[in-house]
Amino acid sequence: MTLAHDVAGDGPDTVLLLHSGVCDRRMWDGQFHALAEAGHRVVRCDLRGFGDTPIDAPHVHADDVRDLLDHLGVERAALVGSSFGGEVALEFTVRHPGRTTALALLCAAAPGHEAGPELRAFFGRERELLVAGDIAGAAALNVDLWLGPDADAAARDLVLRMQTRAFELQLPAPDEFAPGEVEVTDKDLAAIEVPVLVATGAHDVPDFGVIGDRLAGLFPDVRRVTLDWAGHLPAVERPAETTRLISEFLAG
């Protein structure tokens, strides 16, 4: 199965946008065409279990990304990953070496991170709501946690709709269709030699600042940025500013 995706632009380099775990490819509405107009070929996709891509078989997200790039005839791409999409980008880069030209990690999750108390409490409350069948309540809980103070009503509504859609796809899926894990060690990450941007938000859950500092200490070619205005989803909180951040990194 090919992941649902959109392509814009005809530049010489390809940029692949990988969404967060509470979103789908719609989270990149503010960057998709803007990056294409800046001279890139831009691809955004729905990972399996999000947006327009159902869960129909056991899978590995990093391999689904490889298959999408193969389908599009793209040998190498710059990967921009938000949260969960950042972890998928890291797994892809380790699992399929030589195919990544740059990594922009926005509030990225990372292999091997153990959740702190705030994140554990959130997951516990989310689980309680889902067990009770309160999908609307669980989606609203996610909106409240993951969006920073600059998110407007439209951003909150979009994240609410994207998270609700993810629940609708993922909750009925049989256990045997769960995504496969990719073993990635700090040694594997330290061997990544492409340029890396590590950006985190000052208003995010503390775990992601910890992850950002850990990642920044591993890569040999890294730019570390803390966005003093951002929560967990800068791409939907301040789209234009996030586009500039990504564009400047790719240009550099």
Structure tokens at 225: 């940025």
Q: Name the residue type at position 136.
A: A
Predicted structure pTM score: 0.97
CB atoms within 10 A of CB 82: 29
Query: Which residue has 């570390």 as its token pair?
Result: 224
Do strands 41-45 and 5-8 pair parallel, antiparallel, or not at all (unpaired)? antiparallel
Q: Which residues pair with 200 in a beta bridge?
A: 226
Indicate left, alpha or beta for 53 from its phi (over 0: left) and psi (-120 to 50: alpha). Answer: beta
| Residue 156 contacts residue 238 (beta carbons within 8 Å) | no
CB atoms within 10 A of CB 228: 8
Q: How far apart (Å, rounded) are the C-alpha atoms in residues 95 and 171?
A: 28
Structure tokens at 51: 């947006």
pLDDT by 10s per residue, the chain, length 252: 899 999 999 999 999 999 999 999 999 999 999 999 999 999 999 999 999 999 999 999 999 999 999 999 999 999 999 999 999 999 999 999 999 999 999 999 998 899 999 999 999 999 999 999 999 999 999 999 999 999 999 999 999 999 999 999 999 999 899 888 888 999 999 999 999 999 999 999 999 999 999 999 999 999 999 999 999 999 999 999 999 999 999 998
Q: How far apart (Å, rounded) are the C-alpha atoms in residues 194 and 199?
A: 16
Q: Strand, coil or helix: what is 205?
A: coil
What single-letter DSSP state applies at residue 83?
T
Query: H helices of 147-222, where?
Result: 153-170, 186-190, 206-216
Q: How far apart (Å, rounded) are the C-alpha atoms in residues 100 and 97?
A: 7
